Amino acid sequence: MKLYDYILSPSCYKVRLMAALTGVKLDLRPVDFHPGLEHRSPELLALNPAGSIPILEEGDLILTESSAILVYLAAQAAPEWLAGTKPEEAARVQQWLSFSGRLTANLGGARLHEMLLRPGDIGALQAQGIAALRELEAGLVEQNLRGERFLAADRPTVADIACFPYVALAPDGGVSLDPYPAIRLWSRALRSLDGFIEMPGIHRLHELKAEPTVEESKA
């Protein structure tokens, strides 16, 4: 199973993290995303005409959307990461998988602007990112009231992995996570999972601040 990968891409990291948590072995094929723009080379455009990464290749199967790749890995190796039998749980998983695309667009766009000098309206991207974080915070508070620590259930699912990287890296785009205690508690819970792996900018429980309480939320 080959993953076309860029070490600094949160979308690629989602796949590496999911594979690590589920025990799937990946053959990593590094892509010179920056500055080489290899993701727009003829070879990779033949695999993904959208010109984006990650790309997962296994035999005749090619997947180019990170959420679909997460579901594929979980379905193969660890179905407990998928939605259970409860309709509301299945709906929450799908909702947060869709929501993760917004995080890529706004928090990811702000990060690309600040780190790689990509063009964009940084003020608008940050404002949209803050709005998304407030929505995520509210969703996690609701889950806490149900006695559940994760986005869709009382256990982590593909929805958590889909949303986590761009949230954790929000400060790279100039968006602070300090106002969101439920998000920070959720992040700690994910970082403490057996098999969790790091990427540049995302470390294993490196925060030194006291654990937040959800009651502090100002979202």
How does pLDDT run across 37-62, given as a tens digit for each residue? Answer: 999 999 999 999 999 999 999 999 99
Residue ranges of the chain assigned to CATH 1.20.1050.10: 83-216
Residue 200 to residue 38: CA distance in whole angstroms: 21
Overall fold of domain 83-216 = Glutathione S-transferase Yfyf (Class Pi); Chain A, domain 2 (1.20.1050)
> Helix, strand, coil proportions of the chain in percent (round to 5)?
55, 10, 35
Residue ranges of the chain assigned to CATH 3.40.30.10: 2-80
Distance in Å from the first CA to the final CA of the chain: 41
Q: What is the pTM of this model?
A: 0.91
CATH number of 2-80: 3.40.30.10
Q: Which residues, 6+ apart, have CB-to-CB distance to 215 below 8 Å?
A: 181
> Considering the chain, what is the average pLDDT of its residues?
93
How does pLDDT run across 141-167, given as a tens digit for each residue? Answer: 999 999 999 999 999 999 999 999 999
